[in-house]
Amino acid sequence: MNELQQAAGRWRRAGSTLAWLVVAVAPVVIALGVRRGVPTRVAPAAAVASAEAPPEASQSAPPAKEPSAPAAIWPRALPAHGLVGVIAPGRPVETDRLERGLAALRARGLTVKEGAHLRSNNGSYAGSTEQRAADFNAMLADANVAAIWCARGGAGCLELLPRLDWDKVGQRRLPLIGYSDVTLLQLAQFQRCRLIAYSGPMVAEPHGFGADHGIDDHTAADELQWLRLSPPPAAIQPPPRQTWLVVQPGEAHGPLLGGNLSRIVQLLGTPWLPDFKGAVLLLEETHETAGSVRSMLAKLADAGLFRNVNAVVLGDFTDCLPIDELHASVRRALAGRDIPVLSHAPYGHILPRSTWPLGASVRLTTSPPRVAVLDAAGTG
Nearest Cα residue to 74 out of 267, 215, 181, 226: 226
Helices (H), ranges, the chain: 2-36, 45-52, 95-107, 129-141, 166-172, 183-193, 217-228, 261-267, 290-302, 305-308, 323-334
Task: Give the single-character DSSP code of 192.
Answer: H
Binned at pLDDT 50, 70 and 90, residue 16 comes out as: very low
- The answer to whether 235 touches 371, Cβ cutoff 8 Å, is yes
- The tens digit of pLDDT for each residue in 357-376 reads 999 999 999 999 999 999 76
User: In Å, what is the CA distance from 49 to each residue of 23, 45, 167?
Assistant: 21, 6, 55
63: pLDDT confidence band, cut at 50, 70 and 90?
low
Rounded Cα distance, 42 and 325, in Å: 77
Question: Residues 310-336, buried b or exposed e (16+ Cβ, 10 A)?
Answer: bbbbbbbbeebbeeeebbebbeebbee
Q: In angstroms, what CA-CA distances link 207 with 30, 41, 210, 238, 314? A: 88, 86, 7, 16, 18
pLDDT (average), residues 169-194: 98
**Are the C-beta atoms of 273 and 267 separated by less than 8 Å?**
yes
Q: Give residues with Cβ within 8 angstroms of 366, minimum separation 6.
A: 246, 248, 249, 250, 251, 340, 342
pLDDT in tens, 232-283: 899 999 999 899 999 999 999 999 999 999 999 999 999 999 999 999 999 9
Distance CA 336, CA 307 (A): 10
> Where residue 306 falls among pLDDT bands split at 50, 70, 90?
very high
DSSP 8-state assignment for residue 369: E
CA pair distance 313, 344, nearest whole angstrom: 8
Q: Predicted confidence band at 68 (pLDDT cuts at 50, 70, 90)?
A: low
Confidence of residue 314 (pLDDT cuts 50, 70, 90): very high
Question: Is the confidence at residue 17, as pLDDT, over 70?
Answer: no
Mean residue pLDDT of the chain comes to 87
Q: pLDDT of 328-356, one tens digit each?
A: 999 999 999 999 999 999 999 999 999 99
- 369: closest CA among 223, 234, 248, 220? 248
Q: Are 293 and 314 in contact (CB under 8 A)?
A: no
What CATH number labels 83-373?
3.40.50.10740
Instruction: Look at residue 230 in the predicted model and tell me its pLDDT.
Output: 80
Give pTM, 2 decimals.
0.82
Buried b vs exposed e over 352-371: b needs ≥16 C-beta within 10 Å?
A: bbbbbbbbbbbbbbbeebbb
Distances in Å between the alpha carbon of 54 and those of 49, 61, 64, 67? Answer: 10, 12, 19, 27
50 has a pLDDT exceeding 50: no
How many Å apart are CA 278 and CA 180, to the nearest integer?
Answer: 23
How would residue 66 be classed by pLDDT, with cut points 50, 70 and 90? low
Q: Is it the case that residue 59 has pLDDT exceeding 90?
A: no
Which is higher by pLDDT, 228 or 6? 228
pLDDT of 53 > 80? The answer is no
| Residue 55 φ/ψ, nearest 5 degrees | -55, -40
Q: At what angle do helices 323-334 and 290-302 cross, to 10 degrees?
A: 20
Q: Is the pLDDT of residue 162 over 90?
A: yes
pLDDT for 232 equals 86
Q: Which residue has the higher pLDDT, 175 or 231?
A: 175
